[in-house]
Each structure stands twice: as structure tokens, then as C-alpha cells.
Amino acid sequence: MAHVVDLKAIQDAYARLSSFLHLTPVLTSTTVDEKIGRKVFFKAESFQKTGAFKIRGALNAVLSLKSSNPNLKGVATHSTGNHGQALAAAAKLTKIPCSVVVPENTSLVKIDAIKGYGANVVFCKTTQQSRNETCERVAMETNSVIVPPYDHKDVIAGQGTISLEFLNQVPDLDALIVSVSGGGLISGIACAAKSLKPEIKVFAAEPEGKELEKSLRAGKRMWPNPPRSIETIADGMRTQQLGQLTWPIVRDLVEKIVFTVNDEEIAAAMKFIFERLKVVVEPSGAVPLAAAFSPRFKDVLHENESLRKIGIVLCGGNVDLDCLPWIH
């Protein structure tokens, strides 16, 4: 089935990106292997530039725009979180002006981070409508192209470069566990991984309330409209619905069994990663290990002896160190 992104697009993205970004290391832990009963490999995107994988997609989008339009005047987006920072950093790396629209209640820390990359910060009201309208107005005024956080082929292709590196570093992976929110990360990863290695299984890990499995089993979008946010400490994963472009890829390439974890499990996995892997991860980054520790994953392994090497993507490490969830 034809998707908006294919292996060639991801390989092209990697050729564009790799000189700008870190080749993030793969870590292992005997304790984790003993606890899960399989060899587990962690792709540590916390060590990526800007502290999260998001720079891959944002930078691929900016570089693609620049090469197809040498007169590109700027890029713009609206974001309260990592995507705003990632686009600002991508624009800085490629010397393109960048505007980021943020709701007026956004924390100063995040605004400072975006400004730190030299982007122009524009405030809007907190409604989705104001965010969209302000972003469109700013893009028009500055002659900029809007880069969305996940539902864009170049963004998806950029995130997919993780699979190229990971399967090069650990060629015999049998399965991957990946966080899912809007779906940019998991669709890119699944697209590259399944093209290179059709027998690999890609599992989604989600916070409670997302209900991806229901849609996957039905083979169609079963989420209630208008789109909702999820209550979870995984602040990078509050979008309930997948995007229009990411959904068909996830529907076709990701396993139907989805691992759902609650805040307590996420916080425990996060502390475990700090303690044992010595990696700073944000709650979203801990969701796949929380999934791997779940009884349901144990059942899956029990029924699938052939899943011997498991890859986990630690997607980012941008966490407020003054507010760690295990310290009260």
C-alpha cells in the first residue's frame, strides 16, 4: 500500500540531516535484560541535539523547503513544547528566520528556550482557533512556510532516520517499542524499519486514554471528535488522535496489540532509567520501557519466543529537573 513516505524518502532525509545531528548511542543494561528476559537495546535520543528526536523531522522539513525553494524567507509553527524548540533549532542550523506562535500562558522556560535558538516568539490566545489563525497570519506577514509538528511527509521521513541508525547499530533487532502521540515518530520508524526488515515487529506504547488499539483493531479512526487531549504526565503525548498522514502508516505497519501505561508506571520507568541507565529522560521517553515492564508485554514475549532482541527508543530528555515525579 502506498504511503506518503517510503524508504527512499527516509534515506534522502538521512543524507540531508546526518552531518548536522548526533549519531545517538545505543545503551544496554544487564539489569533490564534480566528483568525482561530478553536482550534490550536503548536508542538514546535524549542525547540528540535539542534533547529530543524532534529536531530530525523539523530539520528535514526545513532543509527540504530550502532546497526546493532557495528564496525561502522563513518557517513558522505554533507549539507549546518540543516542536517549537526543534523548529527554532533547525532554522538556526540552516540560517532561516523562524517564528513560533505560543499561547500566552506558556511557561517562561519554554519561551526562553525558543528565543535561545534565535526564533521570533509571537503570543496568541490559548484556544486552538487563535493558535491556528495567529500562525497563519504570522506566516503570511513574514512570507514563511508553516511546518506542522507531525502530520507532514518531511517530518515523518526525518523521524524515520532513527530506524536507519538503530538497525545499523543493532542489525538483528526483532521488535521495536515506540511512543505514540500524533504519530510522527512511530510512523517514520515503522516505515523505515519494515522496509529494511519486513519481519520486524513495531509496537506502540501509549498513555492511558489514547485508545489506539481500538482504532487499529477496527482498521479505522474510532476516536471521538472534536479531537481531545489526554491527561497524562507524559506531556509530549497529550494528543489523542493520530494525524491524517500518520494514521494510515500506523494502521498498516504497527502491531495491533498496543501497550497502555498509567502515570505511576511511567514515573517508575522514568526513575528506573535515571537510576540504572543513567540517562535523563522526560516522562514521554519512559513510556516504552514502562510498556516493556507491563504484564501484557510479558504475555506477548511468552507467545513469541522468536522476539529475542528488543529495541526501545528513549525519545527525549527535556524535563524540569526541579519537578521530578518521584520527589514530593
Residues that bind its own copies (CB under 8 A): 22, 25, 27-28, 30, 44, 46-47, 49, 51, 271, 274-281, 317, 321-322, 324, 326-327
Cβ proximity to its own copies, 4 vs 279, nearer residue: 279
- Where do we find the cell 529522560? 281
Cβ-contact 257, 294 below 8 angstroms: no
CA distance 64 to 118: 21
Residue 14 has which C-alpha cell?
538521512
> Distance between alpha carbon 89 and the CA centroid of its chain, in Å?
16
Cβ proximity to its own copies, 14 vs 272, nearer residue: 272
Cβ-contact 146, 79 below 8 angstroms: no
Write down the least CB distance from residue 283 to its own copies, Å: 14
Residues 65, 67, 70, CA angle at the centre, nearest 5°? 90
Cβ proximity to its own copies, 154 vs 282, nearer residue: 282
Cβ proximity to its own copies, 95 vs 278, nearer residue: 278
Cβ-contact 230, 247 below 8 angstroms: no
Write down the least CB distance from residue 113 to its own copies, Å: 11
Write down the least CB distance from residue 136 to its own copies, Å: 32
Write down the least CB distance from residue 95 to its own copies, Å: 15
CA distance 145 to 155: 14
Cβ proximity to its own copies, 28 vs 126, nearer residue: 28
CA distance 48 to 300: 31
Write down the least CB distance from residue 193 to its own copies, Å: 22
**Strand pairing report for 39-44 and 26-27:** antiparallel
Write down the least CB distance from residue 205 to its own copies, Å: 20
Residue 116 Cα distances to 36, 46, 70, 89, 121, angstroms: 41, 19, 25, 9, 11
39 DSSP β-pair partners: 309
40 DSSP β-pair partners: 310
Cβ proximity to its own copies, 44 vs 102, nearer residue: 44
